[in-house]
Amino acid sequence: MKRTISLVLVLALGLATEIAKADFTFGTPTNLGPTVNSGATEVNPEVSADGLMLLFNGERLGGHGQSDLWVSTRATTDDDWGVPVNVAPPVNSSHYESGPSISVDGLCLYFDGAQPGWYGDRDIWVTMQETTNYLWGEPINLGSTINTSYYEGDPDVSADGLMLFFTSTRPGGYGDRDLWVSTRPTLSDSWETPVNLGSTVNTSWYDGDPEVSADGLMLFFTSSRPGGYGDYDIWVTRRATTDDDWGAPVNLGRIVNSLFGDASPSLSVDGRTLFFCALNRTGGFGYWDWDIWQVSIDPVVDLNGDGIVDAADVCIIIDHWGTDESLCDIGPMPWGDGIVDVQDLIVLAEHLFEEFPPVEPDEASVDENDDGSQVELEQGQILVVTLESNPTTGYSWEVVEIQESILEQMGEAEFKPSQTGEPPLVGAGGWEIFRFKAISAGQMTLQLAYRRPWEEGVGPIQTFSIQVIVN
């Protein structure tokens, strides 16, 4: 039986080598606690730009229908969230309301619902208020340009209010549900005909719950595509500028994603906190129900990896001033902004003299038993291949198939002799150890052959082959 080896995302979420990026890590996910979460379902978190309001939808007691929108507030970002309050009519109804997204000024609330007057399975609506007093007006359907007779939901409005991302099953997609975007020239203009985000982002599987960062360069979303850790995982795609296409999506890894389901990402305006919902995760408050969680997104600030942030790291930033050097581009968002400048010094100063444990490259190991298997790597990870060998016979392993743009061999193979006195092959046998570094996203075959290099026209006596997927 073929085995699939899943690996942990450690540091880099590199999406394309031509895009400047900073490395970032995730902290430990924490549940928002029993004030926000209950024994029922709480999903689709959305945090206001000031970080003082948390919207979500759920089926908790006190609602008006199948699923209602709820809001929890706090006085400062250092305070705990307060008891959730039902958004109430005219927004909530006896029907279904979900997927809230609030504008930066807090005056427009987008959501999806199955209310009278809709066009299809689910429609996208907007409700407005004159001031941030939570007195929302009558919801307005976004009309036939956005909504169709199919499903439209999970709206997410960009920080500038000129892009509306959403999920749809309308024709023109690639599968189950796809990610789409509509734009408008100004806030006073109508939304234009939506465009599918394309086959680089969308798959034949579920792709939904979009969340675009405030700088418009990162798009987090939910997908059930292969390569994840649970039924649903959170992925991220990136672009260099808002005029560029989105790059190949990357899974957020096991810190964020679990064995069951993780979905509905929502990002704080500074990009430092990711809110999401998780199913049946240890530490939750509902059995087989969804809870809302949060996790910090932390830039990698120990630039030289010596275990402490100090003057040496400051010098590295100065040496690359004005460039797009990814190592130093750590601000203002954790993934940088494409240029090394004072924003990066500010972020570094916040961590000055902090100590960090040394970071070793994450390794995945395979041997003969993994022949024919599939290995999934994250960019920057090291693949170690250990194969039985006996150089005294003249035979040795060599790489016969590799795509070096995806996987790069790190030097020559090393030989490790047997220490047991019972070598695996006749003579002074042992193992040959190959190391490869995942350098870009893609899928390829890695094949090695065991043969005598001087014997032309003679086939190998053994081969080893695995499929490698780099996310």
3-class DSSP state for residue 307? coil
Q: Is residue 386 within a helix (H) or strand (E), and if so which, with residue range?
A: strand 382-389
pLDDT in tens, 219-266: 999 999 887 877 899 999 999 889 999 999 988 988 899 878 899 999
- Determine the Cα–Cα distance for residues 140 and 106; give it in Å rounded to an integer: 17
pLDDT in tens, 64-115: 878 899 999 999 999 999 999 999 899 998 888 999 999 999 999 999 998 7
Q: Residue 53 above 80 pLDDT?
A: yes
Nearest to 217 by CA among 238, 234, 201, 198: 238
Domain edges within the chain: 21-299, 300-359, 363-470
**Class in CATH terms, 363-470:** mainly beta
DSSP single-letter state for residue 135? -
pLDDT in tens, 351-396: 999 988 765 556 788 888 889 999 988 888 889 999 998 888 889 9
Provide the greatest CA pair distance for the chain: 84
Which of 1.10.3720.10, 3.40.50.300, 1.10.1330.10, 1.10.10.2520 is the CATH number of 300-359?
Answer: 1.10.1330.10
Which of 3.30.43.10, 2.60.120.510, 2.60.40.1170, 2.120.10.30 is the CATH number of 21-299?
Answer: 2.120.10.30
The percentage of residues in the chain with a pLDDT greater than 90, rounded to a whole number, is: 60
CB 93 within 8 A of CB 122: no
Nearest to 57 by CA among 87, 79, 77: 87
Please give the model's pTM, rounded to 2 decimal places.
Answer: 0.73
3-class DSSP state for residue 97? strand
pLDDT attached to residue 20: 31
A 10 A CB-CB count for 61 gives 8
- Determine the Cα–Cα distance for residues 259 and 279; give it in Å rounded to an integer: 9
